């Protein structure tokens, strides 16, 4: 694969995130599952996932969380809503069958410039897919400012009689503003991106249901083969990291930070080891919000930007993997 020559460079101008107020601890889940005669413990959950807490939306829906995170990102980027040319929302839990959550966010932001807006569904790899897509629109000169959001209300897809899945997921949103880098003295850019999928592995992780004649057909709950997903995820993320670094003409030693999909601390640590990075260079927030699917990477990114760990000029590898089976990675100079 050859690296394409871009007309422009795309850079991150601002980040934002949002977590619902309802914070659910492992102990809270233990009590809830005990009412259903399902045994588990804080130690069982934490040792297998690294998760201590997750947040559940009560009054919020996917578009509301997306809107709040987007508003924060726009403020940090110092960009007015009507300067946005395109909105991409990565989600598997949209408000409606249609219209798109992106159009709802456009309305909530008060954008009146008729900018393009669409949703992108790649589950836990969704943010990487959306981010890469947005970068292409900027690099080819079609758009200047793109709002990329990952937002999920996965708690509404959980079967609380299945402890192997219900303890893992939470709700939240994260957003970035990507813009054209017009400063010749600024090196910030998207250095490479890789997107991959293997539809032959759809049985590993799915929520198979649809609406027909006003009824839900199938079981609208998350089903997962945990062991198979674990093995597949590490292999895919290692491959994506290797390809993305090669396209960026970098080796792992040149990376300042790894931001993996915040799914499971053991997968994340395994990925860092495969890439050849020390764990202190990995941004991990999974303990605070669990697996938030397409929202997890921008949530972790915003956390590290806000607390000062990520600085201008840092080389960052972001990568995600999820149902489909889909995966991808991007290398950026922040």
Are 10-180 and 189-333 equal in CATH topology?
A: yes
Closest CA to 135 of 16, 9, 250: 9
* pLDDT of amino acid 57: 98
* pLDDT of amino acid 2: 44
Per-residue 3-state assignment (H helix, E strand, C coil) for 197-259:
ECHHHHHHEECCEEEECCEEEECCCCEECHHHHHHHHHHHHHHHHHHHHHHCCCCHHHCCEEE
Domain ranges in the chain?
10-180, 189-333
* pLDDT of amino acid 186: 76
Q: What pTM, to 2 d.p., does this model score?
A: 0.96
What CATH number has the domain spanning 10-180?
3.40.47.10
Could you give the CA distance from residue 261 to residue 329 in angstroms, rounded to a whole number?
10
Q: Mean pLDDT, consecutive 10-residue segments, the chain of 334 residues?
A: 68 98 97 93 96 97 98 98 98 97 98 98 98 97 98 97 96 98 83 97 95 93 95 95 96 96 96 95 98 98 98 97 97 97
Angle (nearest 5°) at CA 298 between 292 and 300: 80
* pLDDT of amino acid 188: 87
Residues forming the active site:
124, 261, 291
What CATH number has the domain spanning 189-333?
3.40.47.10
* pLDDT of amino acid 1: 40
């Amino acid at each position: 694969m050859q690296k394409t020559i871009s007309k422009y460079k795309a850079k991150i101008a601002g980040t934002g995130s949002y977590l619902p107020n309802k914070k659910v601890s492992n102990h809270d889940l233990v009590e809830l599952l005990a009412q259903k005669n399902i045994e588990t413990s804080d130690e069982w959950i934490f040792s297998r996932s690294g998760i201590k807490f997750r947040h559940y939306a009560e009054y919020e829906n996917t578009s509301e969380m997306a809107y709040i995170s987007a508003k924060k990102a726009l403020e940090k980027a110092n960009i007015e809503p009507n300067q946005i040319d395109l909105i991409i929302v990565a989600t598997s839990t949209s408000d409606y069958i249609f219209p798109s959550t992106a159009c709802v966010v456009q309305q909530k932001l008060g954008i009146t410039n008729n900018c393009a807006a669409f949703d992108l569904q790649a589950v836990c790899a969704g943010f990487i897919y959306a981010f890469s897509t947005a970068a292409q629109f900027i690099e080819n000169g079609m758009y200047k400012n793109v709002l990329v959001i990952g937002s999920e209300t996965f708690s509404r897809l959980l079967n609380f009689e299945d402890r192997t899945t219900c303890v893992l997921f939470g709700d939240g949103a994260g957003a970035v503003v990507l813009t054209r880098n017009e400063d010749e003295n600024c090196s910030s850019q998207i250095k490479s991106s890789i997107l991959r999928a293997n539809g032959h592995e759809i049985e590993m992780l799915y929520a198979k249901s649809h609406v027909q004649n006003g009824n839900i057909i199938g079981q609208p709950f998350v089903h997962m083969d945990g062991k198979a997903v674990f093995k597949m995820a590490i292999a895919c993320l290692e491959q994506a990291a290797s390809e993305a670094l090669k396209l960026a003409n970098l080796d792992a030693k040149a990376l300042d930070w790894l931001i993996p999909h915040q799914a499971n601390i053991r997968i994340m640590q395994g990925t860092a080891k495969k890439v050849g990075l020390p764990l202190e260079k990995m941004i991990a927030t999974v303990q605070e919000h669990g697996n938030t699917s397409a929202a997890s990477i921008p949530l972790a990114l915003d956390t590290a930007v806000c607390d000062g760990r990520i600085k201008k000029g840092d080389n960052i590898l972001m990568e995600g993997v999820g149902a489909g089976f889909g995966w991808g990675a991007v290398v950026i100079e922040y």
